[in-house]
Each structure stands twice: as C-alpha cells, then as structure tokens.
Amino acid sequence: MFAQAPQVTNVQAEQIVGTKDVQVSFELTGKPGADLCFIEVWFKADSTQTQWQQVKSIPYDAGNPNGLQEILFDLWDEFGNPSGQDKAFTAGATESLQNKTFTWNAGNDAPDVNTEDAQIRIIAFYPKMEEWGTVKPTDQQKSGWDGFGDFGGSGASPDGNGTSPSGDVYVRDYADTNNYYVSPEPGYANLRDRIQEQYGISPIAPEGYFNDADQLYFDVFELSDGLVNELTGTMPPSGTLLCAVVGDNLIPVMLQ
C-alpha cells in the first residue's frame, strides 16, 4: 500500500478587524507514522489572476500549539557569500485530522491590496529526502510550484478550487533505479498521448511528479509489468509499476 500524501482541507481566511492582519485556519491530515510537514502559504488578490505570491510574513506564536513553526536559514550568492536569510514553515501532522491556525501580517506582503476576492492556498508536503535517506537542507524544502496557474495546492480559500488535479504528490522510487526508455511511435505526438490513445489508460495523477532536473511536472500512470515490457523490451521487477512519463522515458515513482 502506498503512503498517503498530506491532505489540507477547510482552508479559511478572515481579516482581523481594525488591522491588516489575516487569521488563517486549515485542517491537516498526514500519513501513519508522520510527525510533521513543510507548509507553503500562497496568496492572490483576485480569483481571476493566474500568478500567486508566496507568503512569508507569518510571525511565530509560541503560545499557539496549533500554529506554524518557522525555520530560519541563510542564503548564499553564486560566489558563496552570505546574502541574507529566508524562512520555511512546518506543522505537526499525524494520521488524525488536526486543526491549524496562524496569523498572516498581510500588510507586509501585500501593503497596497484592497480586495474582497482574495484567496489563500496552503501546500503541505513531507520533508524532501536525499537519495541515501537523509533529510535535505531547509533551503531545498520547497514544493516545486512556481505559483502559476491552478496546480500546486492541497487546499485553497475560500472555495477550495486550489486542489491539485489528483491531490497526490509522487517522488522517485529508488527501489527501482531503471529509466525505461520507449522508442517513439509514428502517429503519436508523445509517449503520454500514446499510452492514453493506444491503450486507453489515463494518468492516475496528472502533473503528480516534479522532476528536479527539468523543473517541470509530469503525469503519473499505473502500468502493468507486461505493458512496460511491451513498450520497452524490459520486464520490471514488480507486477504493477507507477511511472512518471518524462519525455520518452518511464520513471518509477512512489507516493510521497
């Protein structure tokens, strides 16, 4: 059984009367054995906008056990010189639903915005891991979303339309280190279209896999070992394979 990606639901945001601060609440559910998630908060002033802005003006509140924890980390320029600091946010996450709240100092991040049509998006993801099993540095703990379009969130406010196409996030499965190459077939624009048109198989997670090398999202398909063998001439080690279609390659992935 594959582990469930963290789920964000019931995102609510309300301006605190007499201030430029916004009180945000959401519900977070993790997988069995999880203890925390990294959290990204995004904002746009108008629901018709396609570009979101990442929120960083969230003060740490030691008196709020259901709030976000902040991690400060140093930034470095291309020459290895310190260039400032940034912050990341985390929240405790278990398989039981937890209510989370925090205050956003909206006047800092959006000082000139006056709107009644704003939206807040919360993205939750488990800590990113190195191939050898250690946690990546904090400055690499990013969802990979660039803030453009509708993809990238586990939940949004006020109408919830920020849910990603599948709600799931997939990562490279290093239990199978193969990249299964598929020779291009005339008549199909790409491998993704071929799988859907020739075999009638739709992706289980559209744009569910983020490839660090390309900095792009790719669709994830569930394919039988026989079909992978038919496409590539190589029989995978397991009966069913979760594959991200990256160019002409099937890359084994697993649910984060």
pLDDT, position 5 = 63
Shared domain for 128 and 201, answered yes or no, is: no
CA 74 to chain centre: 23
Are both 17 and 57 inside the same structural domain?
Answer: yes
**33 and 67 housed in the same domain:** yes
Q: How far apart are CA 42 and CA 50, in angstroms?
A: 12
* Domains of the chain: total: 2
Boundary residue ending a domain (164, 187, 207): 164
Over residues 174-188, the pLDDT tens digits come to 778 888 999 998 888
Task: Please list the ranges in the chain whose pLDDT falls under 70.
Answer: 1-5, 115, 130-133, 144, 149-168, 256
Q: Of 110, 138, 164, which residue constitutes the final position of a domain?
A: 164
Same domain, 176 and 160: no
User: Strand, coil or helix: what is 222?
Assistant: strand
Query: Nearest CA to 109 among 175, 41, 53?
Result: 53
Same domain, 63 and 34: yes
Structure tokens, 168: 């799931």
**Are both 119 and 216 inside the same structural domain?**
no
pLDDT on residue 154: 44
Give residue 107's pLDDT.
87
**pLDDT at position 168, please?**
63
* Same domain as 181, residue 112: no
Query: Are both 142 and 209 inside the same structural domain?
Result: no
1 domain-assigned: no
The pLDDT, as a whole number, for residue 130 is 67
Determine if the pTM surpasses 0.75.
no
2: in domain: no
Best CA proximity match to 168, nearest among 222, 246, 130 = 222
Residues 120, 238, single domain; the answer is: no
Task: Note the pLDDT of residue 180.
Answer: 92
pLDDT of residue 41: 93
Same domain, yes or no: 30 and 136: yes
Structure tokens at 50: 């396609």
Residue 37: phi, psi to the nearest 5? -130, 155
How is residue 163 annotated by DSSP? Answer: B
The pLDDT, as a whole number, for residue 76 is 86
Same domain for 23 and 122, yes or no, is yes
Quote the pLDDT of residue 151. 46
Encoding tokens for residue 151? Answer: 């993809």
Final residue of a domain: which of 164, 181, 201?
Answer: 164
Answer whether residue 248 is part of any domain: yes
d(CA 35, CA 94): 6
186 with 64, same domain? no
Q: Which domain holds residue 224?
A: 171-255
Closest C-alpha to 40, from 5, 3, 12, 70? 70
186 occurs within a structural domain: yes
The predicted pLDDT at position 50 comes to 79
Q: Cα-Cα-Cα-Cα dihedral of 78, 81, 86, 87, to 10°?
A: 100
Rg value, the chain, Cα: 20
In a domain, 236, yes or no: yes
